[in-house]
A and B are shown apart, each in its own frame.
Chain A
Amino acid sequence: MNNKILGYIRENGKVGVRNHVLIIPVDDISNSAAIAVENIIHGTIAIPHHYGRLQFGRDLDLFFKTMIGTGSNPNVAAVIVVGIEPNWTNRIAQGIAETGKPVEAFYIEKNGELKTIEKMARSALKLVEYATGLKKEWVDFSELTISLKCGESDTTSGLASNRTVGRFVERFLEANGTVLFGETTELTGAEHIIAQRFKKEEDRNKFLKMFNDYQELIKEQGVDLLGSQPTEGNIAGGLSTIEEKALGNIQKIGNARIDSALDYCEQPVGKGLHFMNTSSAAAEAVTLFAATGAVIHLFPTGQGNIIGNPIEPVLKITANPKTVNYMSEHIDLDVSGLLKLDGTLDDYADKLWNKIVETANGKFVKAEILKHREFVLTKLFPSA
């Protein structure tokens, strides 16, 4: 297999496969300025969102981790941060600047939006000149961090697309790569299998605590997740229960063992396979993975989820021949042949390997071409 890719080696040694100049609004009211600059400066991407005001405690900590992590992602070459006031704006800009990449911060208070947009645009122009002048270099494929999350799953996911990802993951880990997976609630019914896979007891206990805490949260509401899990899409695709969905879900890590259990946006120490506490909602989970350093996302789907991410290419794999037919503009890799046992799992894992190398080398995935840029923050509790 091809073990070298052309990537961007960032100032801190991390390897990226895209070269974005990112415009980060600190708060909901700064979205307009961020979008305005994206519209007039080629090569920039704004990531509007709904929060950043009056958050507190753990929820605020996660907000800062997500914003700083997103700017720090090696797929990002340079960053503009814009907020209503200097304090939180500088905190995010300084957090990102620790990676060594160029970061500039702007505040709207005492300037007004129009003057701020002009200053940001002039700064963005220089940052795009800088970023597009950077050269790609040959690096080992295993330098990449790859994230996993499936969506609109059906029984073909557990039979073929998730298994293809699982076989790829086994091999990528053998090659010394780094992989992140999560979806805490969608492990319900298969959590005992995941728990057994942790290499260390402390991580197993940490995982079980995060899993059980969420189960308690559901119980405290006096409900279960029937009606939400499986989703209507899952049921249409033949999945009957959360247990069945979870057992299909965990095929994505193959037979691999797990190196650590991480809470939301916690940085992994070392390479290998890491579980991270995440929602099972696709955009929330992928946003957290990207903010934790993942540079390519593998997204197996059954019925056809169409998610993308602003900074991380989201590569779609399906085994459902109907989805290949109806939703071809969203699907990057068709593994439906596996349902007919036309070829082996290894053959399809080879195809996926090659597809990821192509993506790493610069070929756009469908979600990038379609401008799917879902950036969704995980909120732990209501704002003050």
Chain B
Amino acid sequence: MKEYRFLVHEEGDSVGVVTSDLKAGETIIGKNLEKDIEYEIKVLEEIPLGNKVALKDIKEGEEIIEYGEKIGVATKPIKKGERVHVHNIKSIRWGGKVNE
């Protein structure tokens, strides 16, 4: 069995959820929860279990998609393979500004 290190809720999500502690420089694979889709990512920084990893480059002001839904907005540019958490995304409901 392959060792998946992150899982993705829905096709088109911009983040995956990390399921074991990751180190910078590792190349890892992840899988979609329901569908037979695999992803490969080069990890750019340490990411602990339960945090999210960017599956693509994300611009400042761009919506973050998880579960196929908007979970927040990027407050700074995020590179594919970087950690995605409260330091670089914010709730849209409570104050986050989306670029139109």
Contact = CB atoms under 8 A, between A and B. Distances in A.
Interface of A: 154-156, 158-159, 188-190, 193, 224-226, 235, 237-238, 240-244, 247-248, 302, 320-322, 339-342
Given A238-B52, A341-B4, A243 B71 contact: yes
15 contacts: A155-B51, A156-B19, A159-B7, A189-B70, A190-B69, A235-B86, A238-B50, A240-B72, A240-B84, A241-B94, A241-B96, A243-B72, A321-B49, A322-B49, A341-B4
Nearest to B72: A241
A247 B31 CA distance: 19
B85 A240 contact: yes
Contacts of B9: 158-159
Interface majority SS on B: helix, strand, loop or mixed?
A: loop
B31 A240 contact: no
A224 B95 CA distance: 9
Given A158-B9, A243-B71, A339-B19, A224 B50 contact: no
Contact of B92 (A238, A243, A322, A342): A243
Contact of B71 (A154, A156, A193, A241): A241
B31 to A, nearest CB: 7
Given A155-B52, A244-B71, A238 B17 contact: yes
A302 B50 contact: yes
Contacts of A302: 50
B36 to A, nearest CB: 12
Contacts of A247: 66-67, 69, 71
A193 B18 CA distance: 25
B24 interface: no
A241 B33 contact: no
Contacts, number: 92
B13 to A, nearest CB: 11
Contacts of B71: 189, 240-241, 243-244, 247
B51 A243 contact: no
Nearest to B18: A238
B72 A320 contact: no
A371 B90 CA distance: 39
Interface residues of B, number: 32
Contacts of A340: 3-4, 19
The 8 closest A-B pairs by CB, nearest first: A238-B50, A241-B91, A244-B71, A241-B72, A224-B94, A339-B19, A247-B67, A238-B51
B89 interface: yes
A196 to B, nearest CB: 13
Interface in B60-100: 66-67, 69-72, 84-86, 89-96
Given A238-B52, A241-B91, A247-B67, 14 more contacts: A155-B50, A159-B7, A189-B70, A190-B69, A240-B52, A240-B71, A240-B89, A241-B71, A241-B72, A241-B90, A241-B94, A247-B71, A320-B50, A341-B31
A243 B98 CA distance: 15
A71 to B, nearest CB: 39
Nearest to A225: B94
B59 to A, nearest CB: 17
A241 B49 contact: no
Contact of B19 (A159, A190, A237): A159
A226 B50 contact: no
Contact of A155 (B3, B17, B72, B90): B17
A164 to B, nearest CB: 13
B85 A238 contact: yes
B91 to A, nearest CB: 4
